[in-house]
Amino acid sequence: MRESFAIGGVRIRAGTARAIELPITRLVTGADVTLPVRVVHGREDGPCIWVNAAIHGDEVVGVEVVRQVMAGLDPKTFRGTLVAVPIVNVLGFMTGDRYLPDRRDLNRSFPGSARGSLASRIAYLFMREIVAGCEVGIDLHTGSDRRSNLPQVRADLDDERTRELAAAFGAPVMLHARIRDGSLRHAAREQGAKVLLYEAGEPLRFDDYAVEAGVVGVRRVLATLGMTEPVEELPPEPSLECRSSGWVRARRTGILHLDAHLGQQVADGERLGTLFDSFGKTLRAVYANRDGVVIGRTEAPLVNSGDAVVHIAN
């Protein structure tokens, strides 16, 4: 029998699953705010990984992905340990806000500090209790600011093991993405973890295509790590590997009619949509600025000059 798993001052026996709460802070009412965690500690040996969602409080797709993945796991047949944190930014999630009450971006606050800002303290807690004991992490996100994203994995594809896991996830696109200072991916990599960042769907929406691709992708990674039996849902084709990306920006202010759809292959100079004024007069067409695949687009009909409208990956 494996040793029990220690987290947050409790120990979880092998072959069991348990939900715990890690203290974060208190509301002005005196009510406690806690970080919800569920651990599946398998009966057999295997790797220890984490999966998290809602680092940004308006990104709800990942919460549903975590729920469905956890519902399909049996700790008696599971190999290794999975630590799931469905809502990291609890305060933002309660109000549907991307940021924390002090307007800080939690995903620019890692690795955090025990005596810093609220964002820094949450980041520090997450690194100490979750990341420190894990070797692989899956960070679930959606688009931001009225944008939708094609299901995609962003990762360091120059790292062989990370690339293997990204390919196993099987999203339509895997993008070699630079690491941002202060992000969970950056801080976790500094501690030696392999991290996949999943992007799909819109904020504040349960987009079925984003949830389904996320659930199946996480299951594939678990199977690749030997933690579960191989999954039946094989990807229809290998992920399209992209090495860079960029946004097409509006050249005029107006009402946007966007024809480009997620996953569409486009060529440099191809027409993607049109900007009109309120009477329907054409102001300017929107054109692709590179060859590639559309991995993100704005869902806002009203745009200002300079706004990002279509995200294309090479």
Q: pLDDT tens across 132-157, in order? A: 999 999 999 999 989 999 999 999 99
C-alpha to C-alpha distance for 174 and 190, rounded to whole angstroms: 21
Mean pLDDT in residue range 115-125: 97
Q: Is the pLDDT of residue 122 over 80?
A: yes
The average confidence (pLDDT) of the chain is 96
**Model confidence over 14-39: pLDDT tens digits?**
999 999 999 999 999 999 999 999 99
**Model confidence over 221-261: pLDDT tens digits?**
999 999 999 887 666 789 999 999 999 999 999 999 999 99
3-state SS, residue 164: helix
Q: Which of 86, 210, 222 is nearest to 153 (CA)?
A: 210
Q: Is the pLDDT of residue 265 over 70?
A: yes
Mean pLDDT in residue range 2-10: 96
Mean pLDDT in residue range 283-289: 97
**Model confidence over 45-96: pLDDT tens digits?**
999 999 999 999 999 999 999 999 999 999 999 999 999 999 999 999 999 9
HEC readout, 56-88: CCCCCHHHHHHHHHHHCCCCCCCEEEEEEECCC
State the number of CA atoms in the 13 A half-sphere of 95 facing the CB: 9
Residues 6+ positions from 220 with CB-CB distance below 8 Å: 168, 169, 170, 231, 233, 235
Which residue in this structure is represented by tokens 């092998």? 14
Residues 6+ positions from 225 with CB-CB distance below 8 Å: 46, 47, 49, 80, 136, 165
Is 171:111 a contact under the CB 8 Å cutoff?
A: no
> What pLDDT score was predicted for residue 14?
97
3-state helix, strand, coil in the chain (%, to 5): 20, 35, 40
> What pLDDT score was predicted for residue 233?
67
Is 110:130 a contact under the CB 8 Å cutoff?
A: no
What dihedral angle (degrees, nearest 10) is formed by the CA atoms of 56, 60, 61, 62?
Answer: 60
C-alpha to C-alpha distance for 24 and 124, rounded to whole angstroms: 10
Angle 222-67-138 (CA atoms, 0-180°, nearest 5)? 40
Is 274:257 a contact under the CB 8 Å cutoff?
A: yes
> What pLDDT score was predicted for residue 231?
83
> What pLDDT score was predicted for residue 79?
98
> What pLDDT score was predicted for residue 179?
87
Q: Is 158 buried (19+), middle (13-18) or exposed (0-12) by CB count in 10 A?
A: exposed
Q: In this prediction, what percent of the chain has a pLDDT beyond 90?
A: 95
